[in-house]
Amino acid sequence: MAVQGITILGATGSVGRSTLEVLSRHPERFEVIALTGYRNVELLARQCARHGARYGVIADEQAAGRFQEELARLGCSTEVLAGSDALEQVAALDANGVVMAAIVGAAGLRPALAAVQAGKRLLLANKEAMVIAGGLFRQATSDSGARIIPVDSEHNALFQLLPPDHAAALDRAGVLELVLTASGGPFLRRPAEELGAVTPEQACDHPTWDMGRKITVDSATLMNKGLEVIEAHWLFGAAASQIRVVVHPQSIVHSMVAYRDGSVLAHLGVPDMRTPIAHALAWPERIEAGVRRLNISDLSQLEFLEPDLRRFPCLGLAFTALQAGGSAPVTLNAANECAVEAFLDHRIRFTDIRRILERALERMPTAELESLAQILEHDAETRAVSRQLIEEHG
């Protein structure tokens, strides 16, 4: 079996760390080519030393000196690169067979796209990249022969549940509906009128998943699921009318596919990101992930609820943006990143996140974006507008 080279974009985050855990179980199959992080130099240096990375990339150029010093202290010969251009460089290295895209937010767009343009197998854990540039990714995949395998538990489940020829057309494959499950986050049963007083600490206390702060807040607003709806549109060619969201607090069923013949296929497993990571790494094979086995006899009750859009208005905004098309998903994502950051910094209330998104969508005209430059320009303009809206709220 040939050893496959892998680069992890966002190695210091939760998905990156879980990926390294899975890789450590299979040293005979994978070689770590490059690991990247933002400014957590101590952790990134330890990861490079432990896994023998050829390259270590620190995105924050101001931290490059400290990163080099930490590697030297560990006696590690990993070559240091820094800055956003370096992220794209290591994503496209000839030695890579696989690139894990786990940088949070729009910052992960360019290196993920560079990997696809270079014909790599892209393991996509960064949903925002597909949300804001899905059309570019589909075109680049067609041009280069790259393959995108989703790592989000819901999309990875759909990937497993759909037939191999689903890319031709869902209708032709007999698919009626894709069903994304949502945990409902920490505020599922809290009265809507109390949500204005919740704190960032409460919003980051997820009942079933261990994730980063931004994605955990998105789970609390259900914006995470809204972004996944848009991602599913691009990954699987599904219209908004073919995508449904149900709230499933136990997080055991990760997604379902309803077929024309009346069948509904469901993907079950314990809530552990190492399962979809291992699947994506080894596809079409299966490898050990270190995950606890699901005991069906322990499942006394599984709940499936319609999402309450009064409690979770951000989900409705995502469907609206998808149906509007063009630049609307870019606006939604950029405004959301700014609003979540402001909430985590205690500058706005939890319920203000939705208000910032609504006003950003009103202010930013919907237009067709045909190039990466146009997407990035619209993203920057939306962030400027969103920061102004946040200041007005404050």
Amino acid identity, position 47: Q
Do 357 and 220 fall into the same domain? no
Instruction: Give yes or no: residues 211 and 249 share one domain.
Output: yes
Q: Judge if 163 and 299 occupy the same domain.
A: yes
**Tens-place pLDDT, residues 262-292:** 999 999 999 999 999 999 999 999 999 999 9
Q: How confident is the model at residue 394 (pLDDT cuts 50, 70, 90)?
A: low
Regarding whether 134 and 82 lie in a shared domain, the answer is yes
Checking if the pLDDT of 208 tops 90, the result is: no
Asked, for residue 301, whether it belongs to a domain, the answer is yes
Residue 228 inside a domain? The answer is: yes
Burial of residue 357 (number of CB atoms within 10 Å: 0-12, 13-18, 19+) = buried
Residue 145 located in a structural domain: yes
The string over 122-159, giving b where at least 16 C-beta atoms fall within 10 Å of a residue's C-beta and e elsewhere, is bbbbbbbbbbbbbebbbebbeeeebebbbbbbbbbbbb
Which alpha helices (DSSP H) does the chain contain, by range?
14-24, 41-51, 64-73, 84-91, 109-117, 127-144, 153-161, 200-203, 213-221, 223-236, 274-282, 313-324, 328-344, 352-363, 372-393
Residues 120, 159, single domain; the answer is no
Nearest Cα neighbor of 232 from 312, 309, 166 is: 166
Are residues 267 and 247 part of one domain? yes
Same domain, 121 and 207: no
| Mean pLDDT lowest among 118-122, 164-168, 238-242, 298-302 | 164-168
On whether both 264 and 137 belong to a single domain, the answer is no
| Residues 109, 173 within the same domain | no
Task: Indicate whether 18 belongs to any domain.
Answer: yes
Number of domains in the chain: 3
% of the chain beyond a pLDDT of 70: 98
Q: Are residues 132 and 13 in the same domain?
A: yes
Residue 257: name the closest of 316, 170, 318, 322 by CA: 170
pTM of the predicted protein model? 0.93
Please check whether residues 15 and 53 belong to one and the same domain. Answer: yes
138: containing domain = 4-150
The CA–CA distances, whole Å, from 266 to 54, 172, 253, 282 equal 40, 20, 7, 21
Residues 257 and 181 in one domain: yes
